[in-house]
Amino acid sequence: MPREKLSVLIPAFNNEATLPALLDDVKWADEIVVVDSFSTDATPEICRQRGVRFIQHEYLNSAKQKNWAIPQCSHDWILVVDTDERLPQALQTEIRGLLEAGIPAQVDAFRVARKNYLLGQWLKSMFLYPDYQVRLFRRAKGYYEDKEVHADVVVPGRVLTLQTPLDHYATPTLAKQINLLDRYSTYQAAELLKRGRRFRWHNLILRPIAVLLYLFLWKGGFREGFRGLFVAFHTAAYIFFTHAKLWEQEWKDGKRR
């Protein structure tokens, strides 16, 4: 069976600080495609220096950006990696081994666990591990759900699991994570509106408190110390702001006073 060929797809926007290390991790791939949302830093120059395919497209949301970029890739298998993620050597070896051996026709994708790091520490509680993500899939079979945020890859065939986790350095600073609250809560409010969801007071007041206590106490966030408390508060704030923006949109539409 001939070796399978791989395109690595990397969404990017102003990632000059993190992109070079990721490009080193995937330099063995048959093709690297960076889909850029019109960066204003050195991201385009880094891509040109490294000789990767660099394409630009207006960013609407993560799913739409990736679904636009998938057909731009040249090879049958696609590996999607974000710029704040890293592929340990063992994971690189595992993926290369699969491609060399040939992948059965009934298998359309592979999911991978993620080790999420906050301020340099791997967090294992509060659903943060294994945090499975489908990232390796057949170009002709996989696409992202039509969701404003947190979309998953959908394939018709079998999904197997890679043995080695991906490293996700999502929160190098608290400021980065706090800044994401506004953007992600806006996306999630838009998703709820798209589904026909209406504002309810209990989702604004009671649900954030319940989620905070659930994550920190029941799901073991207290074992992570301050980091666990931050994640629990951050998640509660995300829910609060999402439903506050849902209320705001209904107010704008004349459904609220």
CATH code of the domain covering residue 71: 3.90.550.10
Task: Examine the domain organization and report whether 71 and 50 are in the same domain.
Answer: yes
pTM over 0.75: yes
17 token code pair: 């600080």
Give yes or no for residue 254 having a pLDDT over 90. Answer: no
pLDDT tens per residue, range 86-116: 999 999 999 999 999 999 999 999 999 999 9
What are the tens digits of pLDDT across the range 18-77? 999 999 999 999 999 999 999 999 999 999 999 999 999 999 999 999 999 999 999 999
Sheet containing 121-122, strands listed edge to edge, beginning at the edge strand earlier in sequence: 85-86, 166-171, 114-118, 121-122
Q: Which conformational region is residue 9 in: left (phi greater than 0), alpha (psi within -120 to 50 degrees), or beta?
A: beta
Confidence band (pLDDT; 50, 70, 90) for 1? low
Domain end call among 109, 140, 169: 169
What does the DSSP 8-state code read for residue 222?
Answer: G
Residue 1 lies in a domain: no
Within a domain: 75: yes
Residue 3 has pLDDT above 90, yes or no: no
Q: In this predicted structure, what is the pLDDT of residue 2?
A: 74
Structural domain for 81, as ranges:
6-118+131-169
pLDDT computed for residue 144 by the predictor:
98
Which tens digit of pLDDT belongs to each residue from 131-179? 999 999 999 999 999 999 999 999 999 999 999 999 999 899 999 999 9
Read off the DSSP letter of residue 52.
-
In a domain, 57, yes or no: yes
Nearest Cα neighbor of 245 from 253, 227, 58 is 253
CA-based Rg of the chain, rounded to a whole angstrom? 20
Residue 143: per-residue pLDDT: 97
Whether residues 165 and 230 share a domain: the answer is no
